[in-house]
C-alpha cells in the first residue's frame, strides 16, 4: 500500500489535500497514451499523432488546511479536470489524490459518498440552486441530503444566510434574487454543509465586476473566521492574486509555477508567467512585507511606521513619491523590517527571467 505524502520541509502541518504525479488522458486507450507522454510526447503531438487529449500532466500540489489555494489558467489549461479529481467526479489515468491523509482513489462507495456529502462542498459558477425551493431550503440542502428534520434544515439555512448578508430573504425563491445574491445563497449552502473543504469552480466569474469584488471581499472576510480549506478555480489573475494564499498556474495541463502569489509576481520562473503577470498593477498588489529588508539593515532614524500588509501604492502615497525616505515596518507592536523607498522602484518593474533571449 502507498504511503501518505510526506510533510514538506517548509510546512509544519500535514496538507489537507495532496495531489501526487497526477495524469489525465482523454481517449479510448489512455494507458497506451500515458506511455507516450511518459516517453516525452507533448499535448499537441499526442492529439495529432495518437488521437488522445492530454488533460493533466504530472500534477503535484499540496493544499494546506485553512488556506485558499487558487488554481489559475486560461481556458483549456485543465482547471476543471483537476478540481473534479478531488471528489472523484473524474478518475485519473495515473497518480494519487490524498485527502486528510487518505488516498481517495482507494475509496469504496460509502466513503466516496461521505467525501462528497460531508468532507467537501462545492460552489458552482451557475449557482445551481433549486428553483422551486425557498432560499432557506436551498441553503440547507446538505442537511436535507443527510436526512435532517425540517426545522434543523431551516435553522441552518437561516443561520448561514444571515452570515452572508441575506437575512430577511429566507422565504424568497432564487429567481427573485439578483445574480450576486444567488451566489451568496450558493456560499451559504456550502457553509451550512459544515464541510472542511470548499471547492469553488469559477464561482464569481458570472457576476458583474463590482458584485464580483464584493463577493471576493465576502469570501476573505468569512475565511478570517472560518478558516476553511478552499480550492478556488479562476481564469482571472487579479482575482487569483487577491484571494490566493497559494497560487498554482496551469498551462496545457501542467503546473508552470506555484507558490505564494507575491513571490510569483516578484520571481516569475518562466517567460509564460512573465507575460501573464506583466499587465498587473504591481503597486496595488505587492505588499510591504514582500520587499522589506532585514531590521539590521538600518537602525534609524525613520520617516515613519508602515504595516507589513500595506500595499506599495499606499506607501507611494504616504511618501509623497520621495525615494529618500526609510520606514519602520511593523506588525502590531513588533518591528518586522525596514523599507527603504529606493527598494520600491525595482519591485514596480516586472522581473525578467532572461530565458526569453535564449529562445
Ligand X SMILES: Nc1ncnc2c1ncn2[C@@H]1O[C@H](COP(=O)(O)OP(=O)(O)OP(=O)(O)O)[C@@H](O)[C@H]1O
- Count of CA atoms in the C-beta half-sphere (13 A) of 185: 30
Query: Residue 357: phi, psi to the nearest 5?
Result: -60, -30
- Count of CA atoms in the C-beta half-sphere (13 A) of 236: 16
Determine which residue in the list 5, 73, 180, 268 makes contact with ligand X, applying CB under 6 A: 73
Q: Are 350 and 341 in contact (CB under 8 A)?
A: no
- In the complex with ligand X, the residue whose CB is nearer, 83 or 191, is 83
- In the complex with ligand X, the residue whose CB is nearer, 71 or 139, is 71
- In the complex with ligand X, the residue whose CB is nearer, 5 or 73, is 73
- Tell me which residue of 73, 193, 80, 95 sits closest to 138, measured CA to CA: 193
Question: Where in 7-36 is the site for ligand X (CB under 6 A)?
Answer: 26
Determine which residue in the list 4, 42, 50, 53 makes contact with ligand X, applying CB under 6 A: 53
Determine which residue in the list 16, 79, 212, 246 makes contact with ligand X, applying CB under 6 A: 79
Size of the site for ligand X (CB under 6 A): 12
268 binds ligand X (CB under 6 A): no
55 binds ligand X (CB under 6 A): yes
Query: Residue 256: phi, psi to the nearest 5?
Result: -80, -45
- Tell me which residue of 90, 142, 87 sits closest to 116, measured CA to CA: 87
- Bridge partners, 276 (sequence order): none
229 binds ligand X (CB under 6 A): no
88 binds ligand X (CB under 6 A): no
Determine which residue in the list 36, 77, 183, 257 makes contact with ligand X, applying CB under 6 A: 77
By CB under 6 A, which span of 77-85, 141-149, 171-179, 213-221 interacts with ligand X? Answer: 77-85
Question: Where in 110-129 is the site for ligand X (CB under 6 A)?
Answer: none
Q: At CA 149, angle to CA 148 and CA 155, rounded to 5?
A: 90
- In the complex with ligand X, the residue whose CB is nearer, 188 or 198, is 198
Q: Please state the closest distance from residue 256 (CB atom) to ligand X, in A.
A: 13
Q: Residue 105 has what DSSP assignment?
A: G
Q: Please state the closest distance from residue 16 (CB atom) to ligand X, in A.
A: 22
> What contacts 310, CB < 8 A, 6 or more positions away?
287, 288
Length in residues, the chain? 359
Query: Residue 317: phi, psi to the nearest 5?
Result: -65, -40
93 binds ligand X (CB under 6 A): no
Determine which residue in the list 10, 13, 75, 224 makes contact with ligand X, applying CB under 6 A: 75
Q: Residue 179 has what DSSP assignment?
A: H
Q: Please state the closest distance from residue 86 (CB atom) to ligand X, in A.
A: 13
Q: Residue 246 has what DSSP assignment?
A: E
By CB under 6 A, which span of 11-19, 73-81, 103-111, 299-307 interacts with ligand X? Answer: 73-81
CA distance 106 to 96: 9
Site residues (vs ligand X, CB under 6 A): 26, 53, 55, 73, 75-81, 235
Amino acid at each position: 500500500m502507498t504511503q501518505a505524502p510526506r510533510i514538506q520541509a517548509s510546512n509544519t502541518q500535514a496538507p489537507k489535500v495532496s495531489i501526487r504525479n497526477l495524469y489525465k488522458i482523454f481517449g479510448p486507450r489512455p494507458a497506451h497514451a500515458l506511455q507516450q507522454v511518459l516517453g516525452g510526447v507533448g499535448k499537441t503531438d499526442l492529439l495529432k499523432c495518437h488521437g488522445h487529449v492530454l488533460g493533466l500532466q504530472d500534477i503535484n500540489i499540496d493544499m494546506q488546511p485553512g488556506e485558499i489555494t487558487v488554481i489559475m489558467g486560461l481556458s483549456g489549461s485543465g482547471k476543471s479536470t483537476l478540481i473534479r479529481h478531488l471528489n472523484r467526479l473524474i478518475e485519473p489515468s495515473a497518480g494519487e489524490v490524498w485527502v486528510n491523509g487518505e488516498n481517495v482513489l482507494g475509496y469504496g462507495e460509502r466513503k466516496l459518498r461521505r467525501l462528497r456529502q460531508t468532507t467537501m462542498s462545492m460552489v458552482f459558477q451557475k449557482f445551481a440552486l433549486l428553483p422551486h425551493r425557498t432560499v432557506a431550503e436551498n441553503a440547507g440542502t446538505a442537511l436535507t441530503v443527510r436526512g435532517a428534520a425540517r426545522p434543523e434544515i431551516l435553522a441552518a439555512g437561516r443561520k448561514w444566510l444571515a452570515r452572508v448578508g441575506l437575512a430577511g430573504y429566507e422565504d424568497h425563491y432564487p429567481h427573485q434574487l439578483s445574480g450576486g445574491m444567488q451566489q451568496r445563497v450558493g456560499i451559504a449552502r456550502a457553509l451550512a454543509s459544515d464541510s472542511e473543504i470548499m471547492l469553488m469552480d469559477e464561482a464569481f466569474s458570472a457576476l458583474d465586476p463590482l458584485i464580483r469584488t464584493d463577493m471576493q471581499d465576502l469570501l476573505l472576510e468569512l475565511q478570517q473566521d472560518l478558516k476553511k480549506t478552499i480550492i478556488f478555480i479562476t481564469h482571472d489573475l487579479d482575482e487569483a492574486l487577491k484571494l490566493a494564499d497559494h497560487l498554482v498556474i496551469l498551462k496545457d495541463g501542467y503546473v508552470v509555477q506555484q507558490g505564494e502569489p507575491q513571490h510569483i509576481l516578484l520571481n516569475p520562473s518562466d517567460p509564460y508567467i512573465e507575460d501573464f503577470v506583466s499587465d498587473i498593477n504591481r503597486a496595488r498588489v505587492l505588499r510591504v512585507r514582500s520587499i522589506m529588508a532585514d531590521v539590521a539593515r538600518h537602525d534609524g532614524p525613520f520617516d515613519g511606521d508602515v504595516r507589513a500588509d500595506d500595499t506599495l501604492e499606499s506607501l507611494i502615497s504616504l511618501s509623497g513619491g520621495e525615494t529618500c525616505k526609510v520606514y519602520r515596518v511593523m506588525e502590531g507592536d513588533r518591528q518586522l523590517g525596514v523599507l527603504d523607498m529606493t527598494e520600491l522602484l525595482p519591485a514596480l518593474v516586472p522581473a525578467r527571467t532572461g530565458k526569453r533571449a535564449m529562445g
